[in-house]
Amino acid sequence: MTQKKYHHGDLRAAALETGTELLKSRDADDLGLRELAREVGVSATALYRHFPDKDALLTALAYQAAEALGEFQKQAGLRAGGGNAGFAAMGIAYVDFAVENPALFRLMFRKAANIDVLSGDIESVGSAIRGLRETVAGLTPATLGDDKRKASALRAWSLVHGLACLILDGQIEYDRELIRSVVVSRSVLSS
Amino acid sequence: MTQKKYHHGDLRAAALETGTELLKSRDADDLGLRELAREVGVSATALYRHFPDKDALLTALAYQAAEALGEFQKQAGLRAGGGNAGFAAMGIAYVDFAVENPALFRLMFRKAANIDVLSGDIESVGSAIRGLRETVAGLTPATLGDDKRKASALRAWSLVHGLACLILDGQIEYDRELIRSVVVSRSVLSS
DNA sequence: CGATTAATGTTGACATTGTTATCATTATGC
DNA sequence: GCATAATGATAACAATGTCAACATTAATCG
């Protein structure tokens, strides 16, 4: 019988897990340190043995969320069979993930500056948001100049990211078909 | 000589003004109620005579920010002389405003759900974010079907919004030319 | 006018939060 | 088996949003 022991076994893992669980079931990304500790069944200060402060805890959660988004997107792309259809599917998956996990999505980008993906150690960060970036970069026609490719990739990312943010902030309603047409459109988007 | 009087004259206005001032000079939108009161030179609870709670205060600030953004955008559009060039200018202005006022921009959209612009009383809200929406809607070719116009407008808004958010969250660096090429591009943007 | 009442500010208190210092318990390595 | 590191708990602190009770000024009306 697994009684309550003084040592938890693997707090940190438990904290991250129930932290993610809590964030999944709410809209705002305002997870409290004491709240989490309470939920895990441990004293608030115990968490300080595994994270230097609240910010580090949230950053760790954000990191996990980034991995989850990457995986979710990748699966969607594969399911659609790559190519243009695959890319559209990934764009839609990006928005879908945000809609289904608003708090995680928000937290992820609020702490994204801490997880420096762009600035340097891409390798050390692992596969985090890297897949996301690679995808965005890889989908642009290789025949274009480098700066145009860059702009094109950035355009695609900005589009789905803006869409996701506007939906989460209640500025536009979630409409799967509308989103699809926005993401997929190619000839309509003059200026 | 205007001595310190017991009654401030027009707190609320003063609170909103120095609140905006404070937010202008910082990156995160975490303005504290007590902090603001301290800055205005008034007791914390005095603010409760003018705002039901902190959330209402922040919402009022967000509302003001929305008006400022609208005006800023409008001016940019006029300066560029309307039309396609004007629209591009407005898109760039949207991003520029965000970059120059990160906290205000963030706050504005964090509280945007409270200021329901879309859901109902557009008229009562005044010119707030309305100009923004009208612009987005107005720039699409009138020859298109209604749903395609809608998608096109949404696409434009999402693009600049995503761009702004990604820059504020440190995911992409601010590069005026890159932004320009992203906003202005029209033929390159194949899915 | 002068007095009553509403408007606006202040003080003190409370619960909650992140954080630190100190102490308690368990696991680990020689 | 014991010293020591790892991990946990308690108590306390400062800061925050908020409320109740009280103070002061402005407005209203006879």
Nucleotides of D under 7 A from a protein CB: 6-11, 15-21, 24-26
pLDDT of residue A181: 87
Which positions of strand C lie within 7 Å of protein CB atoms?
Answer: 7-12, 16-22, 25-27
Q: Which residues of B touch A150 (CB under 8 A)?
A: 178
For B89, name the nearest residue in chain A, comparing CA atoms only.
Answer: A191
Q: Which two tokens stand for residue B121?
A: 């009383």
Q: How far is the CA of A55 from the C1' of C14 (A)?
A: 27
pLDDT at A136: 67
3-state secondary structure B90-126: HHHHHHHHHHHCHHHHHHHHHCCCCCCCCCCCHHHHC
Dist. CA A78–CA A85, nearest whole Å: 10
Q: For residues B101 and A148, which has the higher predicted lDDT (pLDDT)?
A: B101
- Residues from chain B contacting residue A157 (CB–CB below 8 Å): 162, 166
Query: In percent, how much of chain B has pLDDT > 90?
Result: 48
Residue A145 in contact with partner chain B when CB distance is under 8 A: no
Give the three-class secondary structure for A95. Answer: helix
Nearest alpha-carbon partner for B160 in B111, B99, B108: B99
Side-chain-facing half-sphere of B83: CA atoms under 13 Å? 3
Q: Is A100 exposed, middle or buried (0-12, 13-18, 19+ CB in 10 A)?
A: exposed
A82 contact partners, CB below 8 Å, separation of at least 6: none
Task: Print burial letters for A178-189: b (CB count within 10 Å at least 16), e (below 16).
Answer: bbbbbbbbeebb
- With CB atoms and an 8 Å threshold, state whether B186 touches A182: no
Q: Does B190 touch chain A (CB under 8 A)?
A: yes
**Joined tokens for residue B131:** 């100009």
The domains of chain A are located at 13-184
Query: What pLDDT is stored for residue B123 in this prediction?
Result: 42
Q: Name the token pair of A159.
A: 């589009």
Show the tokens assigned to A183. 């993401």
State the amino acid at position B11 in one-letter form: L
Q: Is the pLDDT of residue B154 over 60?
A: yes
Is B169 close to A109, i.e. CB distance below 8 A? yes
Put simply, whether A176 touches B (Cβ < 8 Å) is no
Asked if A158's CB is within 8 angstroms of B159's CB, the reply is yes
Q: Measured between CB atoms, does A130 come within 8 Å of chain B?
A: no
The mean of the pLDDT values for chain B is: 83
Query: For the domain A13-184, what is the CATH code?
Result: 1.10.357.10
Residue B138, pLDDT > 80, answer no
Looking at beta carbons, which residues of chain A come within 8 Å of B118?
170-172
Nucleotide minimizing C1' to CA distance for residue B35: D16
Question: What pLDDT does residue A33 have?
Answer: 98
Residue A107: what pLDDT?
96
**Interface contact A161-B160, CB threshold 8 A:** no
pLDDT at residue A165, rounded to an integer: 96
Per-residue confidence band for B119, with pLDDT thresholds at 50, 70 and 90: very low
Give the model's pLDDT for residue B186.
53
Q: What's the confidence (pLDDT) of residue B20?
A: 98
Which residues, at least 6 apart from B30, have a Cβ–Cβ distance to it below 8 Å? none
Position B189 confidence tier, pLDDT thresholds 50, 70, 90 = very low
Q: Find which of B161, B168, B174, B176 to mutate to test the A interface (most A CBs within 10 Å of its CB).
A: B161
Give me the pLDDT at residue A133, please: 67
The one-digit pLDDT tens for each residue of chain A (191 residues) are: 445 676 777 999 999 999 999 999 999 999 999 999 999 999 999 999 999 999 999 999 999 998 898 889 889 988 998 777 888 898 899 999 999 999 999 999 999 888 765 444 444 344 446 666 676 676 666 777 777 777 888 888 899 999 999 999 988 889 999 888 888 865 333 33
Residues of A in contact with B112 (CB under 8 A): 169-171
**Interior angle at CA A93, CA A18 and CA A22, nearest 5:** 15
Cβ–Cβ of A185/B160 closer than 8 Å? no
Contacts of B184 in chain A (CB under 8 A): 191
Is there contact between B154 and strand D, defined as CB under 7 Å from any strand atom? no
Residue A46's nearest CA partner among A12, A4, A5 is A12
Quickly give A53 CA vs C20 C1' distance in Å: 12
B107: nearest Cα among B28, B12, B167, B36: B28
Say what the alpha-carbon torsion angle B150, B156, B157, B158 is, to the nearest 10 degrees: 100
**Hey, CA dihedral for A101, A104, A106, A108, is it positive or negative?**
negative
Cα within 13 Å of Cα(A40), Cβ side: 27
B172 and chain A in contact, CB less than 8 A: yes
Is pLDDT above 90 for B182?
A: no
Top-confidence residue, B28 or A117: B28
Non-local (6+) Cβ contacts of A160 within 8 A are: A91, A92, A94, A95, A183, B158, B162
Structure confidence by residue, pLDDT tens digits, B159-172: 999 999 999 998 88
For residues A116 and A59, is the Cβ–Cβ distance under 8 A? Answer: no
Determine the Cα–Cα distance for residues B169 and B154; give it in Å rounded to an integer.
22
pLDDT over 80 at B139, yes or no: no
The integer distance in angstroms from the CA atom of A58 to the C1' atom of D9 is: 23
pLDDT digits (tens, 9 = 90+) for B42-96: 999 999 999 999 999 999 999 999 889 888 988 998 899 877 788 889 889 999 9
Residue A19, phi then psi, degrees to nearest 5: -60, -50
Residues 6+ apart with CB under 8 A from B170: A112, A113, A118
